[in-house]
Amino acid sequence: MTRRIMHIDLDAFFVSVEQVFDPSLKGKPVAVGGIPGHGRGVVAAASYEARQFGVHSGMPLREAERRCPKCIFLSGHFERYRDASRKFMAILADFSPFLEPVGIDEAYLEVTGFESLHGTLKAMGEKIRRHIRDEIGIGASIGLASAKIVAKVASKSAKPDGIVEVPDGAEAAFLAPLPIGRLPGIGEQTEKALHGLGIHTLGELARLPRSTLADRFGKYGEVLHDHARGIDRRPVERPAEAKSVSYETTLNEDTRDRDFLEATLRYLSEKTGARLRRYGQKGGVIHIRLRFSDFTTITRQRSLGFATDANEIIYEEALKLFAKALDHSRLPVRLLGVGVGDLGGVETQLPLSGAGAAGFAAIDRALDRIRKKYGFSSIQTGRVMTLGRGSGEGHESHGFSGRIMDQHKGRSADPL
């Protein structure tokens, strides 16, 4: 039996959710991600009306405003996106247990043999789209093919709010006329390198000798060669248990301001601790991630020998790693991240007195209660207060990019 896979992608997800709550936004150029002029934020999502002016995700807000002066800019409501994402995944799970979430607004479904339940797989796709429209109020685009890579490209071709089926055996022909930038995994630098080789379409890429791509790009070149021909044997994989929880942020301005960076580190540590406690998890490895102004990125980690979810311990250990890492480079910092790994690790007595451990737990519980009721930024520790209210909660203030990225590794992360 020929394998069949669906890729389902919600259309302009953040914007679409905002339009459900405010129908007056429909039909207008809208961008979610922040307000221009309030730091170095970027567009997280743009409506199709805004895209007609060249506005797209990842674009600096100031450039988006320049291209589309009438665009409506929104900071975003991440609780709404989280709720919509959960409903989306629940709908898909009703159609197939073989579900692989990819982020918060797209997923793969293994649907081989499911035509017996729906007549045809395309009819199944139409039912999925109808359920999403009826229950969430937004559009979805679906690609149906024999391989994940082809299904993903097909779903993009189906946008907005459509379905494209690529018959078995027609994968290479479907991909051939498309520009190389349409293939997932080909970024700006790879695209530029391929253009230098005279390669502009996926058909041209597929016809290039495999050895040429391997010599130029290594193992990745072999993957490119297969994907350009529609060959992708990766299975649809159901989510595994999370291996780590982390938060990171890109700063508005590259900086070596030690006080500011340590305050940011504290904020990220508290976000991570709160996430751990919310899911009843503890971890035994603390890690940090730093990206410098030249885009050099480093990670550092330390095993504790015990499991923790305490803000203070996460921060103190992250601070030690951060201090050593910063001393090894004189460049300003662009991105900073904090995380806890080895979740569910061995729980032993904390290297603290019982009173000390109990004190940390009591403070963290109190913070969690207040923040759950009034928002994370409603109460701040002394060091974090230097960042200003609203840091990372969908707003831009005092050095944050306007959005803290949530990395819940090992399974699909909830959006913020």
The token pair at 126 is 């139409």
Count of CB atoms situated within 10 Å of the CB of 365: 11
User: Which among 98, 125, 235, 112 is positioned nearest to 168, based on CA atoms?
Assistant: 112
Distance of CA 189 to the CA centre of its chain: 21
Secondary structure (DSSP) of 78-125: HHHHHHHHHHHHHHHHHH-S-EEEETTTEEEEE-TTTHHHHSSHHHHH
Give whole-number Cα distances, 59 to 33, 199, 218, in Å.
10, 26, 30
| 3-state DSSP percent of the chain in helix, strand and coil, to 5 | 45, 20, 35
141 forms beta bridges with 9
119 exposed, middle or buried (CB, 10 Å; 0-12, 13-18, 19+)?
A: exposed
Residues labelled as active-site residues = 106
